[in-house]
Structure 1
Amino acid sequence: MSGRSRLRRTGADAVYFILKLTLTISATLFSMLGLLIICIGIYAEVERQQNKTLEGFFVAPAVILILLGVSIFVVSFVGMVGALRDNRLLLKMFKWTLVVILLLELVFIIVSFLCRNKVLLMFKANVREGIRHYYDDLDFKNILDRIQVKFSCCGGEEYKDWSVNHYHACDAPGPMACGVPYTCCVKEKEGDVINTQCGYQKLHQERVEVGTTIHARGCVDAITLWFEDNIGPTVGILIAILLPQDGTPNVPGAGNGEFQEEI
């Protein structure tokens, strides 16, 4: 074997080792992440079943977490085993699965932008339906409360969406009538204690009147603006995560001593 051939083989082995190590570590980390998501999803589902009032099985965030965790774990585990055992079939399965996932996400983003108005209408309709059952579905209640606090918003399209809820409608009996939940309230400073009665009798007031006490803008618009502002970094992070895993070790015969000598 000539010196050039030996040097080329050493360089190829080094590249192969780096790719294999990178893929093994990243796939292992994602497998552990998948297991963690599965555990969280199972715990959330157990809690949901104990307090379950609605029958929307596939709408439950806990079920979505479990399905997401299983998908991440299976795909990552295939990549990890394929890298450790130099199994080309598993590596190809892993590679093309990631390619398909990336393409589906890109298609989803493109279709969402092309059909933006229809997507927004469907989103607003679903949020209004969720508001209608706000006190019956604890999963949706916790999610919407967190969104209203984080994005400083109230309701779906606007704060008056809360009129569809049986407890907040203006003709409903009780102290919550014609009001909104306290998570819609405006906090002057971070850490201030919120007055839980600040949303009292706000639905019959106009936007200019409620602006200092509750958030008037809807959460659909707030989330849409946030998504548009962060779409670039989100796609960049997604590609940065997937591309290193796509670099599956494919050096011919690497690690098996099958390089041919150059004469």
Structure 2
Amino acid sequence: MSGKHFKGQEVSCCIKYFIFGFNILFWLLGVAFLGIGLWAWSEKGVLSNISSITDLGGFDPVWLFLVVGGVMFILGFAGCIGALRENTLLLKFFSVFLGIIFFLELTAGVLAFVFKDWIKDQLNFFINNNIRAYRDDIDLQNLIDFTQEYWECCGAFGADDWNLNMYFNCTDTNPSREKCGVPFSCCTKDPAEDVINRQCGYDVRAKSDAEQKMFIHLKGCVPQFERWLHDNLTVVAGIFIGIALLQIFGICLAQNLVSDIEAVRASCFRNFLFTLPWFAMVSL
């Protein structure tokens, strides 16, 4: 009996420190993401003027760092302290919170598969909305440029989507030097060029389609993203399955540790009740 009890304590101890070590990495990563997000906001002056958050016309990529960092910080903190201090409340919070995230990810995956056309329309709306705000935020600008360079695309469904931007539209009243142009990230790259020509997209949409093809990518980012997703479906599915299994593993470990802690406490309480009459008799 004592051997089995010792073995159970040993397994519980291993689970405890495994959860602690596993979550401290996430906690540190969460702190790093939060630090990067707050630093980026301070560089843009957002922290000194909080009302400027609502002034951004498009999506601020810093929100990704803040949201992901905040979630990782909360989960890592609850998992670390819960395992180290054997706090069942924090461990239950950790497992429930992780379960909610897993459920939301699963729901999002199912909805994305069922409502593919709606997701496509929303992605188009998202990209076009950020095209309008391209010059409003440097982080957003860098994100759009990275996307267009990586997928060799221009706009949501084509280069003419840049008419939505006040600096690039082709209207006669547009005084901008970038009129009828596109950002440099739309341009086809010459391997021989070491320096990026940031004016390569100037006046390019004033040319014919045949001429445009020589200078810029004509395919939109939504079709290119669909193509990339189709070509890398196995890798993407493997990553999501790996993340899901990791989350399920964390939930199971946390629940196992909670069960062990509650079992030990219940055993101690029973032993106390059993020995209480003997103490009473001895004191008499």
* Larger RCO of the pair (alpha carbons < 8 Å, separation 6+): 1
Match of 1:237 among 231, 238, 242: 242
Tell me if structure 1 keeps the 8 A contact 2:19–2:80: yes
Tell me if structure 2 keeps the 8 A contact 1:54–1:137: no
Match of 1:182 among 181, 184, 187: 184
Counterpart for residue 14 of structure 1: 10
Q: Which moved more, 1:222-231 or 1:171-180?
A: 222-231
> How far apart are residue 205 of structure 1 and its match?
4.4
Tell me if structure 2 keeps the 8 A contact 1:152–1:215: yes
Alpha carbon RMSD of aligned pairs, Å?
3.0
Mapped to 2, the partners of 1:208 and 1:102 lie a distance apart of 48
Distance 1:100 1:240, change over 3 A: same
Distance 1:121 1:28, change over 3 A: same
Distance 1:164 1:58, change over 3 A: closer
The letter for the 2-side match of 1:90 is L
Tell me if structure 1 keeps the 8 A contact 2:57–2:130: no
Counterpart for residue 210 of structure 1: 212
The letter for the 1-side match of 2:82 is G
The letter for the 2-side match of 1:222 is Q
Q: Which moved more, 1:153-162 or 1:247-256?
A: 247-256
Counterpart for residue 86 of structure 1: 86
Counterpart for residue 130 of structure 2: 130
After superposition, residues 39-78 of structure 1 pair within 5 angstroms as 39-49=35-45, 55-56=55-56, 59-78=59-78
Counterpart for residue 275 of structure 2: none
Residue segments in structure 1 that go unaligned for 5+ positions in a row: none
Mapped to 1, the partners of 2:86 and 2:196 lie a distance apart of 58
Mapped to 2, the partners of 1:170 and 1:103 lie a distance apart of 46
Tell me if structure 2 keeps the 8 A contact 1:41–1:62: yes
Tell me if structure 2 keeps the 8 A contact 1:53–1:137: no
Q: Which moved more, 1:117-126 or 1:228-237?
A: 228-237
> How far apart are residue 16 of structure 1 and its match?
1.4
- SS at structure 2 position matched to 1:119: helix
Percent pairwise identity: 29
The letter for the 2-side match of 1:215 is H
Tell me if structure 1 keeps the 8 A contact 2:32–2:69: yes
> How far apart are residue 37 of structure 1 and its match?
0.9
1:29 aligns with 2:25: yes
- SS at structure 2 position matched to 1:28: helix
Tell me if structure 1 keeps the 8 A contact 2:56–2:137: no
Mapped to 2, the partners of 1:190 and 1:103 lie a distance apart of 49
The letter for the 2-side match of 1:200 is Y
- SS at structure 1 position matched to 2:260: coil
> How far apart are residue 242 of structure 1 and its match?
1.6
Counterpart for residue 197 of structure 1: 199
Distance 1:132 1:194, change over 3 A: same
Counterpart for residue 146 of structure 2: 146
1:113 aligns with 2:118: no
1:219 aligns with 2:228: no
Listed one character per residue, the Cα deviations across residues 43-100 of structure 1 (whole Å, up to 9, x for unaligned) are: 1111233696971499433234223322221122111111111122221121111111
Listed one character per residue, the Cα deviations across residues 102-123 of structure 1 (whole Å, up to 9, x for unaligned) are: 0101101111221121121122
- SS at structure 2 position matched to 1:110: helix
> How far apart are residue 208 of structure 1 and its match?
4.7
Q: Which moved more, 1:163-172 or 1:206-215?
A: 206-215
Mapped to 1, the partners of 2:193 and 2:18 lie a distance apart of 43
The normalised TM-score by structure 1 is 0.84
Q: Which has the larger radius of gyration?
A: 2
Q: Which moved more, 1:68-77 or 1:196-205?
A: 196-205
User: Relative to total residues, which structure has the larger helix share, 1 or 2?
Assistant: 2
Q: Which moved more, 1:140-149 or 1:191-200?
A: 191-200
